[in-house]
């Protein structure tokens, strides 16, 4: 597996990480515990060294899976988790008060079976807590050896700069893919300027860009895509043209749509590390093979221009979730 360094932090990880959320959270029933642990270990065996989780995934149980799976090889991997909500229920609201950050860190350390969190993200910016207090608290945790690096998730430019001035931000984790290009409007430039790595979540459009989801696909009742406007049947039908465009390009390269979507992201910046998730070993291996696909500058530009010319139907989030991002 090739490696990349997240910005100027010195934190080196596999070029593709593994997003663990979907193993048992948000995307339907997920896997049985034994199978989820097995897939995490399969990813490690394939060379993945960055594993992403959060207290709210499950809630809490996703961290436990990751901790148990990686305990035998703890010193060979990088574990990222997150703080920022009052409880494991997202509806409870945000809470990044210093005392709560510390409480979450201690609880996450126990669940992850480790003595340090390699990368500790603020899950969402808390409008009621100054960013300087948040960054200062994580700085203290770093000095104490309980945290290795500080990260932000879905933060806006002003918050990134305020945080970075107190404690250097190692990585910004936000959604980025061929059908969600918003980071290109300024966030990537800020990351480049400040030496911050960028970790795209949902790099395959929550599965849509793989070509395996159609307008008639029925999601499980507890699959949160049921609540996303972009995944309404009419939106999926309208957005099929994007998948078709990607499919034609992939066929010409002898690759799968997922591999081309990931290769396109990897070609954007050398400090970008996508974290696709899956519940299948075959898909994991398919995704990881994207690291070996070298797209030429003309191909990167052609694919980006083709998608930019196609309108995307449906908002990324419903209003209550959209209000939490970009702050």
Three-state SS at 150: strand
Options 57, 60, 121, 317, the catalytic residue: 57
Mean pLDDT score, 48-74? 97
Residue pair 209/246 in contact by the 8 Å Cβ criterion: yes
CATH number belonging to the domain at 3-322, selected among 3.20.20.100, 2.40.33.20, 3.30.70.120, 3.40.50.150: 3.20.20.100
Residues 6 or more apart whose CB falls under 8 angstroms from that of 142 comprise 148, 149, 150, 167
Residue pair 14/3 in contact by the 8 Å Cβ criterion: yes
Q: Is the pLDDT score of 89 beyond 90?
A: no
CA distance 251 to 320: 39
Alpha helix (H) residue ranges in the chain: 33-45, 61-70, 98-111, 131-143, 157-166, 187-194, 233-253, 257-266, 281-288, 297-308, 319-322
Q: Kindly state the helix (H) or strand (E) to which residue 120 belongs, with its residue range.
A: strand 117-122
Q: Which two tokens stand for residue 78?
A: 């990088």
Is residue 60 flagged as an active site residue?
A: no
Q: pLDDT by residue (tens digit) across 166-205?
A: 999 999 999 999 999 999 999 999 999 999 999 999 999 9
Mean pLDDT score, 277-296? 97
Confidence of residue 320 (pLDDT cuts 50, 70, 90): confident
Q: pLDDT by residue (tens digit) across 230-282?
A: 999 999 999 999 999 999 999 999 999 999 999 999 999 999 999 999 999 99
Q: Measured between alpha carbons, how far is residue 161 from residues 123, 155, 157, 270 in Å?
A: 16, 10, 6, 21
CA distance 243 to 267: 20
CA distance 300 to 319: 32
Cα 274–chain centre separation: 7
User: Residue ranges per domain, the chain?
Assistant: 3-322
Residues 6 or more apart whose CB falls under 8 angstroms from that of 155 comprise 122, 125, 163, 172, 174, 326, 327
Q: Is the pLDDT score of 306 beyond 90?
A: yes
């Amino acid at each position: 597996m090739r490696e990349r360094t997240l910005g100027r932090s010195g934190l080196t990880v596999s070029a593709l990480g593994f997003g663990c959320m979907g193993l048992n959270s948000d995307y339907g029933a997920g896997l049985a515990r034994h199978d989820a642990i097995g897939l995490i270990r399969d990813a490690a065996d394939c060379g993945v060294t960055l594993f992403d989780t959060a207290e709210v995934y499950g809630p809490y149980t996703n961290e436990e899976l990751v901790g148990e799976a990686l305990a035998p090889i703890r010193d060979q991997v990088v574990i990222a988790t997150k703080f920022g909500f009052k409880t494991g229920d997202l509806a409870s609201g945000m809470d990044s008060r210093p005392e709560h950050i510390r409480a979450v860190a201690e609880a996450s350390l126990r669940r992850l079976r480790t003595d340090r969190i390699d990368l500790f993200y603020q899950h969402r910016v808390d409008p009621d807590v100054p960013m300087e207090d948040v960054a200062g608290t994580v700085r203290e945790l770093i000095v104490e050896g309980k945290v290795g690096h500080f990260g932000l998730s879905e933060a806006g430019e002003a918050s990134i700069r305020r945080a970075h001035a107190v404690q250097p931000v190692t990585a910004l984790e936000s959604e980025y893919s061929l059908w969600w290009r918003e980071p290109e409007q300024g966030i990537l430039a800020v990351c480049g300027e400040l030496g911050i790595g960028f970790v795209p979540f949902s790099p395959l459009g929550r599965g849509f860009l793989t070509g395996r989801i159609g307008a008639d696909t029925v999601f499980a009742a507890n699959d949160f895509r049921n609540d996303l406007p972009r995944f309404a049947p009419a939106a999926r039908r309208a957005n099929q043209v994007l998948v078709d465009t990607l499919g034609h390009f992939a066929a010409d390269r002898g690759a799968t749509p997922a591999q081309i979507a990931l290769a396109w992201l990897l070609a954007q910046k050398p400090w970008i590390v996508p974290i696709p998730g899956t519940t299948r070993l075959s898909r994991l291996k398919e995704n990881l093979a994207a690291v070996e696909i070298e797209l030429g500058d003309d191909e990167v530009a052609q694919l980006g221009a083709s998608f930019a010319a196609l309108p995307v139907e449906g908002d990324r989030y419903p209003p209550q979730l959209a209000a939490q991002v970009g702050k």
